[in-house]
Each structure stands twice: as C-alpha cells, then as structure tokens.
Amino acid sequence: MSNGDRLPFTSALVTGASGFIGSALARRLVRMGVTVTGVATRPREGLDPDLQWSFGDLADAGYVKRLLEPDPPEVIFHLASYVTGGRDRDIVLPAFHSNLTSTVNLLTFARQPECRRIILTGSLEEPEGEAPVPSSPYAAAKWAGSGYARMFHALYGTPVVTARLFMVYGPDQKDLNKLIPYVIRSFLAGETPRLSSGVREVDWIYVDDVVDGYLALAASGEALEGRSVDIGSGRLVTIRDVVEEINDLMQPGIRLHWGSLQDRPLERICVADITTASRHLGWRPKTPLRIGLEQTIEWYRNHG
Ligand SMILES: NC(=O)c1ccc[n+]([C@@H]2O[C@H](COP(=O)([O-])OP(=O)(O)OC[C@H]3O[C@@H](n4cnc5c(N)ncnc54)[C@H](OP(=O)(O)O)[C@@H]3O)[C@@H](O)[C@H]2O)c1
C-alpha cells in the first residue's frame, strides 16, 4: 500500500508508537492522511510531533477506559509490549502486565460500532501444535493475548485480528541489543560482536513490509476477524548467514568469533505461513533481505 492510496478510516490509535515498529506504522498513517493518537508510557524528546500523544500504562484499566471511552478511534493498532526473549522469573509479571493485561484492557474498553477494527500484535514466539508449551514469559503472554482475541470475537463479535509478526528488522530499531542493530553498530565502531553459534534459523521481515501488512489488515473485510495472520518472509535464514551478509555489505575487516555467547535454550524455529495474508489481503513481503540490510546499514551510518 503506497502513500497515494486511500485508507477506509480517518482516525487511529497506535499503542507502542514510540517503539520501533509502532513509530514506522504511525509515520506511514500520518502520511496517508490519518489522524493518529500515539500511546507511550512517558513523554520524552524525539517523539513524532505529527501525532497526538497520550501517556500512560495500558495495564492500568482506568487509564485505558479514559483513553478509549470519550472519543473511540476507528482503528486500534496495538503494538505496545514489553518485548523480551529473556527467561528469568522476574520477567514473568512485567511481561504478563505489559502484554496480556494491556491487551485485555483494550479489548474490553474499545466500543463498537465506533471502533471498527482492532489489530493486535502476536509473535513468532507463540507456540503451536498439540499441547504447546510457551518458551518464555513473553511467549506465554502473547499466546494468551491471541486466545483472548479469539474469545472476544466469538463471544462479543469484536472485530479483532492478530498480526503474528516474525523477526522484524530495519532502520531505527529501539532495542540496540537485537542482533542486526547490534552487529551493524559493532562494525561501525570497529568492534568484534559477541555472537552465539549462529545456527538458529529465523524468518526475517523488513519493517516497511510489516507496516504494509498492518495497513492491509486494517482495510480488510470481516473474513480474518478472530484469526491470527502470519506476517513474515516465509523463508528461514540462519543468524550466521545474516551476519555474514552484513559483513559482506560493510566490509569492516573484523574476524568473527562464533560461539562467544551461549545459545538460548528452548529457541523456537518457525517460518511464517503467508498463504492467508497473500490470499485474503494480497499482501506479500517486497523487500529482499540484502536490500533491507543495505537500507538498515545506511540508516545506522547516518544516525550514529
Ligand atoms: N521487533 C520484532 O522483531 C517483533 C517480532 C514479533 C513481534 N513483535 C511485536 O511487535 C510489537 C512492537 O515491537 P517493537 O519491536 O516495535 O517494540 P519496542 O520498540 O520495544 O516498543 C515497545 C513499545 O511498547 C510501549 N509499551 C510497553 N509497555 C507498555 C505499557 N505497559 N503501556 C503503554 N505502552 C507500553 C513502549 O513505550 P515506551 O517507549 O514509553 O516504553 C514502546 O512504545 C510488540 O507487540 C512486539 O511484541 C516484534
């Protein structure tokens, strides 16, 4: 979907609009003429001045009620999350509140028919198959959020759909410890990145393609309501191959040491099934990995 296309709504709420994917989505919506309210936890420098901002904790039901009830947006894009792959016990409660409580609050207080579509954000980390076991507190909370979405749709007819994102990369990723920004910044600084064995296979998807997916979901009919839709490349590439590709593009002259970090336990390997997105939304990823990495490297070169 390009800037010249018209969207079938004029107002939207984007939670997590100060984050990596939420800020890219909000920017695109504004360019397409949508009035966007962004939610973040606190005011600070660098927030997009083209948005109206609301600050609060989405795990606080009172805040969400005040946010949604007076003037409901036509579309809610819910991207706010405590994003962490960590397994520590002290992550359980923050991951639960920032991912699951926030999602249930939004589903509860988004009034229909004014709010015509709610798009939640799921994750490749959500377990699948028979008797699935989530591999982290984050995965458990995301998985439960998708379950609540199905329940709200089945019981109350809530027009909710979940975008199940795979590994997103691109310019301005806020968590600089994530593999791609970490490796690029290490190379730019002339430092040797600390790397695991690199054998894990991952489905990498460029942020602009993800934004296209959200817009297509917002504009789509009722067929996907109550469902999760994979937004990924549909292809697995190992961490080692991604780092080698960055190395090839940047030529930092650094010898890579594989295995200086331990591999994480219970790491899931899964690839997006993009048949649903392609059939119902006409959505397909457009950005080849090398081009996406080139654009990402360029951004970090220019932004330090
Ligand atoms: N990045 C990926 O590869 C990936 C893969 C799969 C799924 N996802 C999902 O995609 C979404 C966006 O990810 P991202 O990488 O853009 O995340 P991010 O850069 O870490 O941004 C997270 C956002 O959530 C907000 N937030 C967190 N807890 C909140 C709370 N309790 N109340 C209000 N706002 C809260 C943060 O606000 P502050 O800035 O104020 O803290 C920030 O705007 C998340 O739902 C994530 O689970 C991401």
Residue-range domains of the chain with CATH: 11-303 (3.40.50.720)
State the residue for tokens 């709010």. Answer: 115
Mutate to test the pocket of ligand 1, among 21, 55, 166, 173 (most ligand atoms within 8 A of CB): 21
Instruction: Give the atom of ligand 1 at the shortest distance from the alpha carbon of 138.
Output: 47
pLDDT at 152 over 90: yes
Most distant CA pair in the chain, distance: 58
Q: Which residues line ligand 1 (CB under 6 A)?
A: 15-16, 18-22, 39-42, 57-59, 79-83, 98, 102, 121, 123-124, 165, 167-168, 174-175
Mutate to test the pocket of ligand 1, among 18, 83, 228 (most ligand atoms within 8 A of CB): 83
The residues pairing with 106 across neighbouring beta strands, listed in sequence order, are: none
Residue whose CA is at the smallest distance from ligand 1 atom 7: 123
Q: The pTM is what?
A: 0.97
Q: Directed axis angle between helix 137-156 and helix 102-109, to 10°? A: 20
Share of the chain above pLDDT 70, in %: 98
Mutate to test the pocket of ligand 1, among 36, 41, 104, 270 (most ligand atoms within 8 A of CB): 41
Q: What is the pLDDT of residues 84-143, one digit of tens each?
A: 988 999 999 999 999 999 999 999 999 999 999 999 999 999 999 888 999 999 999 999
**Centroid of ligand 1 to alpha carbon of 115 (angstroms):** 22
Label residue 265 exposed, middle or buried (CB < 10 Å: 0-12, 13-18, 19+): exposed
Mean pLDDT of all residues in 34-39:
98
Coil, helix or strand at residue 121: strand
Mean pLDDT of all residues in 276-301:
98
Mutate to test the pocket of ligand 1, among 53, 77, 79 (most ligand atoms within 8 A of CB): 79
Q: What is the DSSP letter of 278?
A: I
Rounded Cα distance, 135 and 268, in Å:
8
- 255 CB-side CA count, 13 A: 1
Residue whose CA is at the smallest distance from ligand 1 atom 11: 79
Nearest to 56, CA basis, from 118, 120, 109, 111: 109
Instruction: Give the atom of ligand 1 at the shortest distance from the alpha carbon of 167.
Output: 3
**Centroid of ligand 1 to alpha carbon of 77 (angstroms):** 12
State the residue for tokens 């920004």. Answer: 181
Residue spans of alpha helices (H) in the chain: 20-31, 61-68, 92-95, 102-109, 137-156, 179-188, 207-219, 239-250, 275-276, 289-303
Rounded Cα distance, 18 and 38, in Å:
8
Beta strands in 74-126 (DSSP E): 75-78, 117-123
pLDDT at 298 over 80: yes
Instruction: Give the atom of ligand 1 at the shortest distance from the alpha carbon of 173.
Output: 19
Residue whose CA is at the smallest distance from ligand 1 atom 41: 41
pLDDT at 181 over 80: yes
**Centroid of ligand 1 to alpha carbon of 79 (angstroms):** 6
User: Would you place residue 264 in the very low, low, confident or very high pLDDT band (cuts 50, 70, 90)?
Assistant: confident
The continuous run of DSSP H or E covering 166 comes out as none
Q: What is the pLDDT of residues 64-79, one digit of tens each?
A: 999 999 889 999 999 9
Residue whose CA is at the smallest distance from ligand 1 atom 43: 16
